[in-house]
Amino acid sequence: MKKLSLLAILLVATVVFSSCGNKNYKGYKQAENGVYYQVLEQGDVNGKTPQLGNFLYITASYFSNNDSIQKFEERDLVDVMRDHAFEGDIYDAYSIMHEGDHMKFAIKADSFFIAMGISLEQLPFSISDEDVIYFDVKMNKIKTEEDFQQEEAEATAQYIADNNITVEPTASGLYFIKTQDGKGKMASIGDTLVVEYTGKFLDGQTFDSSVGREPLTFVLGSQPMIPGFEEAVQMMNKGTKATILLPSALAYGASNPSSPIPPYSALVFDLEMVDIK
């Protein structure tokens, strides 16, 4: 039998003591990164594990041994893998999961709230250093940037084929399909533009529109707009109507999990140049 060093023996003793000495961790194992966990269902042990920047499609809920802490009922969420804020936090928990895993984690409540930037004195309830939050997490899908880009390329190619788009993209990748000619000078940097727009996903679902509201009015070049939108309006004069197809790099890119725009989404905009001032 292989001999253990004194340091290894002390580490093992510490893990055993800390996992058994506190009743709130009873039945949990402790991983090398400090996470207390239970495996409820094993996924693919050779499958993907979360890497920094990956998008994690999870089903999660939590509850606490402290009845004052509000429960979080089970729901589907998208999170982004980040560095841990403290040893044994939820991102350390994600890091030991594989795609398809269903696990339960016990995380110190005070560390959890402090890591979220919440002062314990400001909470409407008290937390002791013994209180624990239990997270139930199913790792449904792990998506890398490459996964999204492949899906975007396939969806864009299908959209172009389905809609018989024959125009060539610009150097940036913008597809500009003019549907009505305008008159006068083209829009240029410094002009105040009045634009009607409708933004859609490739499946035709509208996510935003100025129609029925006030048209969008902005000074070109002095206000932040997505790159594809700025490029397109400079190809328009007053009265022009066009449909534009934007790769995600010209739209919202990786976006944010809480955004209504999914990460790496190609988008379609119907535009009308109402006025150029």
Residues classed as catalytic: 197, 207-208, 226, 252, 269
Q: Where are the beta strands (DSSP E) in 93-190?
A: 102-108, 132-143, 175-180, 183-186
State residue 162 phi and psi, 5-degree precision: -65, -30
Q: Report the C-alpha gap between 87 and 255 in whole angstroms.
A: 28
Say which residues have a Cβ less than 8 Å from residue 226's Cβ, sequence separation at least 6.
246, 250, 251, 252
DSSP letter at 66 equals S
Q: Report the C-alpha gap between 219 and 224 in whole angstroms.
A: 10
State residue 150 phi and psi, 5-degree precision: -65, -45
Q: Would you say 185 and 276 are in contact if contact means Cβ atoms under 8 Å apart? A: yes
Q: Report the C-alpha gap between 76 and 60 in whole angstroms.
A: 6
Q: Return the closest-CA partner of residue 250 out of 194, 214, 199, 181.
A: 199
Structure tokens belonging to residue 45: 């042990």
Three-state DSSP at 108 gives strand
Q: Report the C-alpha gap between 277 and 274 in whole angstroms.
A: 10
Q: Return the closest-CA partner of residue 30 out of 20, 40, 44.
A: 20
Structure tokens belonging to residue 231: 């490029």
